[in-house]
Amino acid sequence: MEGGLYEQVQRAAAAIRERGLGELRPQVGLILGSGLGGYADKLGAQPGGGPPLAFDYADLPGFPASHVAGHRGRLVVGTRAGVCCVAMQGRVHMYEGHSAAAVAFPARVLIALGARVLIITNAAGGLNAAWQPGTLMLIGDHIDLLRDHALRGPNDDRLGPRFPDMTKAYAPELRARVREAAAGAGIHLEEGVYVAMPGPTYETPAEVRMIRGLGGDAAGMSTVPEVCVARHMGARVIGISCITNQAAGITGQELSHEEVTETASRVRATFEALLDAILARLLAGQELG
C-alpha cells in the first residue's frame, strides 16, 4: 500500500465508511478470538435503524486475511446492549507469517472509526492448576515474549507518541466495570497476567515453568500487539481470556487446537452473556465518551 501507516489506516477507515458506515462512529471495538466470532452475528441494527453491516477482510485495504479455524475474517458493525459496536470476527496471528504491526493494523482501524474502548478476547492456556478449562480470566496486565513489536519502526506522531506508557495498559476503571458486570450476571471471573508467546507450537513444560516463575497466569499467541497499538492511539482496553486448556506439563496430556475450539464453543453462551453485561455496564457508567 502507498503512503505511511497513518495514511494506510485512514484509507481503510474511509473504505469502510464509503461502503455503508457513513458518519456513524462505533463506540466499542470488539476483537473476538478463537471460537467467539459468533457474537458478531448477534449484533443488531445500527443506531439509525439500518441492518448490521459486514465486510470481508479481503475487501478492506490493508487488512491481512486469517487462515486459522475459528477465525471467520469479517468486520461487523451493529448494536448490542444499546451500544454501537464494530466487531472483528477473528484475527490474524504472527505465526501465520505476519509482522506484529500487520497483526495490529485492524485494531488501529477500529479506533480510527471512532471506538475509544476496545474489548479484546482470546483463547489461552491456563497456568494455574486450580483453573479448569472454561474459566474466564480478566487480564490485569501482560508479559510480552513475542519476537516483534507492533510499534517497531518509524513513529508517526499523528497516531501516537514514540514511547507510550503501559502502566495502565488494561484500564483499571474499566476492569472495575467488568468485575461489577460479572458479579451482576452471576458469572465467575478470575483475574491475572496474560503472557504472549509467538507460537504456533504450544509451550513446552519447561517454558510453562518459566512463565509461571515470571508471574504469568495464562499463555496465548495474540492480543498484546493490539493492546500496544490501542494504548499508542489513546484508546482504553479490556482484555478477557477464555482458559481453554491447562498448559503443557500440568496434566501430562498433549494439547490440540481442537480442544481449544471445543472448550471455547462450550462456554460461548457464558462468554457472550459476560460481553452483554459489560457493554450494558459501560453504557450505564458513561464510560464510552
Q: What is the pLDDT of residues 2-33, one digit of tens each?
A: 679 999 999 999 999 999 888 889 999 999 98
Domains, the chain, in order of start with CATH, read 5-284 (3.40.50.1580)
Question: Phi and psi dihedrals of 156, rounded to 5?
Answer: -110, 115
Map residue 105 onto helix, strand or coil: helix
Residue 128's pLDDT band, with cuts at 50, 70 and 90, is: confident
Q: Of the ranges 17-21, 89-93, 125-129, 231-235, which is most confident?
A: 231-235
pTM of the model: 0.94
Residue 250, pLDDT score: 58
Smallest Cα–Cα separation from 54: which of 67, 42, 70? 42
User: Which of the four pLDDT bands, split at 50, 70 and 90, describes residue 81?
Assistant: very high
Mean pLDDT along residues 253-273: 76
The pLDDT of residue 253:
62
- Top-confidence range, 48-52, 92-96, 112-116, 266-270: 112-116
**pLDDT score at 68:** 60
pLDDT score at 215? 96
Mean pLDDT of 119-143: 93
Mean pLDDT, range 209-216, rounded to an integer? 94
What is residue 277's predicted lDDT score, i.e. its pLDDT? Answer: 97
How many angstroms from the chain centroid is the CA of residue 142?
13
pLDDT of residue 255: 57
254 pLDDT higher than 80: no
Per-residue pLDDT averaged across 167-180, rounded? 97
Catalytic residues: 34, 71, 93, 95-96, 123, 221-222, 245, 257
